[in-house]
Structure 1
């Protein structure tokens, strides 16, 4: 069924979209190239997800691995159909893809070991996703000098969601995780304020939710809805600030 082709990592979609959209609309010349790159980006993520799930299940001898084979191949081919013409027109995109490969390799290794929920695995996924802000910005004519602060803000925000969400779901009873999450968000607030004072309210809200919400029994849909709201606020703030 179609829905089985769509990766069920719901928290990943904001991380895939927000930095890319910020880079696109902060650049002076957003255009059809961005639409093609966005399609390649999302399809590439879907292909990598299914390939990693196939690897994880196949390594354990499970027949259910087969259901990921066709989506991995089809999504990969579709991503290539969008990406190859762009790479011909903009060869520097190949360097951007090469820079992302080590992080994809880390995610693949964790998938093979069946440890996709590891903290390091989540953090490794954040880096190339936020890096897409710089890629989209350059495609639209904005160099790194004009986009790095927005990219850094994205990295600070999405890196914080990894430990925070764990304190709300899989590590909700862990006091060390909660303390680490709060400590990170305090540092992120200071760093974001150094980037721009207009980021302070958003990152203060992130620190507040990291300190107060764990242990209150919020269901995952409510946790997800709050993160979607904050991600939207991040995108809006970036576009108005930078």
Structure 2
């Protein structure tokens, strides 16, 4: 018996051809922006029965949007593979949305907010620019809009605290788009680096003003200074050592920062 037959080489598992089939979104960073606003909205307002169909409509709507993006990107016969998830998720989203509207008809007023933002994201996807800055920021703003939507659905008043919490979270999430690009797709691009750092400094100043006027806890100031510091240090360090950061490292770092931002957004002013 030869050595090769005694110890046959283990075949590597074949990679699935064709990539994502559209049923499960593979944009892991987007999951945070889908989950957090809903959780924050319920935390700032109050839990209500309507939040169940609202959560279904929101999550399944994201699944449908992801499948639609793949469908628009595909060419020829490959489009057909994305029709089942698109139709399935689309139908479930419509049904869940109808239930929400039946329970709270005035929630349709937020179509004035979501309509333009979703239209921008769809337009960018249709033109094969799903990862553009415009597309990213429009989807982030739509995500953050779920915070007041969640409170409105429960019949809670649109309080100042609610809007400030929404603004604080939106300031952070909007900054993650250019920040992540400076570490991956736009790594080494000086224009993107300067733009990202400038935005984060402006966000830190805005939060300082909110704290000075008593609209947000002073805890938010050091948190956003840390956020601004990481926007400068991470790309600078990667360029200095000549090695890019691993996406997993960036992701774990953002998980920690997100927790800090949530604390800053949810702790009432004067509590600390």
Q: TM-score, normalised by structure 2?
A: 0.82
Cα RMSD for the two superposed structures: 1.9
Residues paired across the two proteins, number: 238
Deviation by residue 1:129-153 (Cα, 9 ceiling, x = unmatched): 1111111122234322331101111
How far the C-alpha of 1:15 sits from its partner, in A, is 1.1
Instruction: Say whether the 8 Å CA contact 2:54–2:100 is kept in structure 1.
Output: yes
Q: Which ranges of 4 or more aligned residues in structure 1 deviate by more than 6 Å?
A: none
Q: What's 1:205 paired with?
A: 226
Instruction: Say whether the 8 Å CA contact 2:21–2:82 is kept in structure 1.
Output: no
TM alignment of 1:184-199, pairs within 5 A = 184-195=199-210, 196=216, 197-199=218-220
Q: How far apart, in 1, do the equivalents of 2:183 and 2:47 lie? A: 37
Q: Counting helix residues as a fraction of each chain, which structure ranks higher?
A: 1
How far the C-alpha of 1:47 sits from its partner, in A, is 0.6
Q: What's 1:222 paired with?
A: 249
1:117 aligns with 2:135: no
SS in 2 for 1:115: coil
Alignment equivalent of 1:45, drawn from 42, 58, 62: 62
Q: How far apart, in 1, do the equivalents of 2:79 and 2:259 lie? A: 35
How far the C-alpha of 1:41 sits from its partner, in A, is 0.3
SS in 1 for 2:129: coil
**Over alpha carbons, which structure has the higher Rg?**
2
1:13 aligns with 2:31: yes
Q: How far apart, in 2, do the equivalents of 1:162 and 1:168 lie? A: 10
Q: What's 1:152 paired with?
A: 167
SS in 2 for 1:117: coil
Alignment equivalent of 2:195, drawn from 154, 165, 180: 180
Q: What's 1:25 paired with?
A: 43
Segments of 5+ residues of structure 2 without an aligned counterpart are 1-15, 211-215, 239-243
Q: What's 1:233 paired with?
A: 260
1:162 aligns with 2:177: yes
Deviation by residue 1:88-128 (Cα, 9 ceiling, x = unmatched): 11012222134201111111111111111111111111111
Q: TM-score, normalised by structure 1?
A: 0.91
Q: How far apart, in 2, do the equivalents of 1:108 and 1:96 lie? A: 18
Q: How far apart, in 2, do the equivalents of 1:69 and 1:232 lie? A: 37
Q: What's 2:113 paired with?
A: 99
Deviation by residue 1:29-49 (Cα, 9 ceiling, x = unmatched): 312321321121010111112
Q: How far apart, in 1, do the equivalents of 2:115 and 2:152 lie? A: 19
Instruction: Say whether the 8 Å CA contact 2:21–2:81 is kept in structure 1.
Output: no
Q: How far apart, in 2, do the equivalents of 1:41 and 1:133 lie? A: 12
Q: How far apart, in 1, do the equivalents of 2:68 and 2:267 lie? A: 38
Instruction: Say whether the 8 Å CA contact 1:19–1:129 is kept in structure 2.
Output: yes
Segments of 5+ residues of structure 1 without an aligned counterpart are none
Q: How far apart, in 1, do the equivalents of 2:250 and 2:54 lie? A: 30
SS in 1 for 2:159: helix
How far the C-alpha of 1:25 sits from its partner, in A, is 0.9
SS in 2 for 1:31: coil
Q: What's 1:171 paired with?
A: 186
